[in-house]
Chain A
Amino acid sequence: MNLLIIGLKIALLLSWCLTIMEVVKLYREDTGVQMKFDWLAYMNISGTIGLTLVSLFAVIQNNTYVFTTGLIIVTIIMVWFLKERLMIAGDHKAILGSRMIDLKDIRKVSAKFMTLYVDTKQGTIKLYAPVTERSVTMKLYNAGKRR
């Protein structure tokens, strides 16, 4: 059981590492990347960070392992949910969830029922309730308008 919890904690850390690596990759490959988020997105990120801290520091004990395991699994799901909704843009590229696209590939941007639809050359990317800021959405929208 102890090994399971340790493994889950490592998986949680890896989930964050993957998310951060994605952002770092965008920083390295592009210019003008800003970590801008609106208030709601910040609350969302803060909540996930809070849960992550609790999960990572949770002590490993026999009488709490079920609760701790459940908590870490929920947190991993939250981190992946956050990762899949992250939207950051630079001058030429953007992260849309788990994908990185070129802004010049965007054909059209539209929104419906809390979901952002980004039509690209490779197909349509759907982003449910993106974690982002208005200026990033406008950047994508303008990139689509220029086509």
Chain B
Amino acid sequence: MKSESISNWVQEKLVPAIAQFTNTKFIKCMQEGVVACMNATMIGSIFMLLMIPPFPATATGGFVDAWRAFSAANATWLNLGYQIGLNCAGFYILLGMVNAVCKHENAPVVNNLVLSVFSYICLQCSFLEGGGLDIGFWGAKGMMAALIVGYCVPELNILFKKRGIKIKMPDSVPPFISNQLEEMFSSVGTVIVVFAVKLIFASFGTTLGAFVNGLFAPLFSASDSLTAVLIYCILVRILWFFGLHGNNIAGAVVNVVLTQNFVANAEAVAAGGKPTYIFNSAFQNWTTQGILFIVIAVILVAKSEQLKAVSKVSLAPALFNIGEPTTFGLPLILNFDIFVPYLIVFALNGAIPFMACKMGFMNIPYVDVPFTVPAIIKVFLQTMDFRSIIVYLVNAVVCVLIMIPAIKKYDAKLLAQEKAEANQ
């Protein structure tokens, strides 16, 4: 009865509220915009990894030396690939955002794209002394501004067009010419607004990017804390518990910050420094590993037919970080028998690696790896540190031990049900 009323409340109140939030135009466009830079960051990560061999300066040996020699011999264009891939992530987000806005508004993409790129350069870039454009704000530093420009500029252009800021051409003018001219007037209106904004920021001696980053600085520093990690892990799992895709919902907002943290780490490593932001989009993968630990606990103790069947089906996907068979098969949704240990396990998935990074026991993740790579390999590839495997194994043992009593209790309940059904 209790779980039924909660379920009803979730269906009637929570789901519509969350759906309304995640379906907001800006949030939807932001999701699409951030995804647009993922391919480039992936390619950039490979260049960066090969450019900076992940070994301590004191390490020597055949493979280490060979990698260093390769990196030195190819340094120029490896750096080029890194710069184009990772250091322009903000620019790619801008393109993705404009495309998403145009798709939602059913507006022409090319004109809005040109206008937005123009505005982004105008608002973000300055000229170098010897000539040329300073693109220092195209990477992690420019992501927030890219989201704002990518959303506002096409919206403004579309608004001007809708409000009739255009010159109606006579019917005798061919449509492709009249369309261009009509677009031109709304574009000029948008450019005037962009220049006005530029002048306002310039009068305060700043740029849009610098201003926005200053505004969001507390958010970024707060995001890189154990509290933020725990809130994220628990929130995602509570949403999953109610049958909602927690990662997608929370990710709609959090991914922007985490991607920016990830790119900032990559920039730091490329500059010869060390990554500083622990909670980044690569670290995020650590927070989803609990599913495999739950499956292992089930395999170790389950006697009921239901759990045995679920464990057989779930193990292979869980090894590749796919949790749906476990989530829907066990189930983890609205399963009050294992709710508390389930939350603890996922909170520890975030807390243990975070603390390990904080205490310097393992490197901070700074390499992008597809999330279907088995976790034990992935944690090494993300950190390029063998100690991360030890942290992963410790995390696994702790989580399995926490899950075993709850799974035992749940299994006994299912076993009793199965016996009762067999006796009927």
Binding site for B on A (CB under 8 A): 39-40, 42-47, 49-51, 53-54, 57-59, 61, 63-64, 66-68, 71, 113-114, 129
Contact = CB atoms under 8 A, between A and B. Distances in A.
B38 A54 contact: no
A50 B73 contact: no
Given A63-B69, A68-B70, A50 B38 contact: no
B70 A50 contact: no
A84 B77 CA distance: 30
A17 B173 CA distance: 46
Given A40-B370, A58-B74, A67-B70, A53 B81 contact: yes
Contact of A114 (B35, B42, B77, B320): B320
B250 interface: no
B47 A114 contact: no
B89 to A, nearest CB: 13
Contacts of B73: 59, 61, 63-64
A42 B39 contact: yes
B70 A64 contact: yes
Interface in B1-60: 35, 38-40, 42-47, 50
Nearest to B38: A43
The 5 A-B residue pairs whose C-beta atoms are closest, nearest first, are A50-B46, A50-B43, A46-B42, A46-B39, A67-B66
A39 B35 contact: yes
Contacts of A45: 39
Contacts of A68: 70
A54 B69 CA distance: 15
Residues of B contacting A: mostly = helix
B316 A113 contact: yes
A54 B42 contact: no
Given A63-B73, A64-B70, A43 B81 contact: no
A120 to B, nearest CB: 24
A59 B78 CA distance: 11
Given A64-B69, A113-B317, A47 B372 contact: no
A77 to B, nearest CB: 15
A66 B66 contact: yes
B67 interface: yes
B323 to A, nearest CB: 13
A43 B41 CA distance: 9
B392 interface: no
Contacts of A113: 316-317
A54 B73 CA distance: 12
B69 A47 contact: no
Q: Most chain-A CB neighbours within 10 Å: which of B39, B317, B371?
A: B39
Given A57-B77, A63-B73, A39 B47 contact: no
Contact of B39 (A43, A64, A114, A129): A43
Contacts of A42: 38-39
A114 B317 contact: yes
18 contacts: A40-B372, A42-B39, A43-B370, A46-B42, A50-B47, A50-B81, A50-B85, A53-B81, A54-B46, A54-B50, A54-B81, A58-B74, A64-B70, A64-B73, A67-B66, A68-B70, A114-B320, A129-B372
A66 B85 CA distance: 26
Contacts of B50: 54, 71
A51 B42 CA distance: 10
Nearest to B316: A113
Nearest to B46: A50
A1 to B, nearest CB: 14
Contact of B70 (A47, A58, A114): A58
Contacts of A39: 35, 38
Contacts of A51: 46
Contacts of B370: 40, 43-44, 47
Contacts of B81: 50, 53-54
A68 B78 CA distance: 13
B326 to A, nearest CB: 14
Contacts of A46: 38-40, 42-43
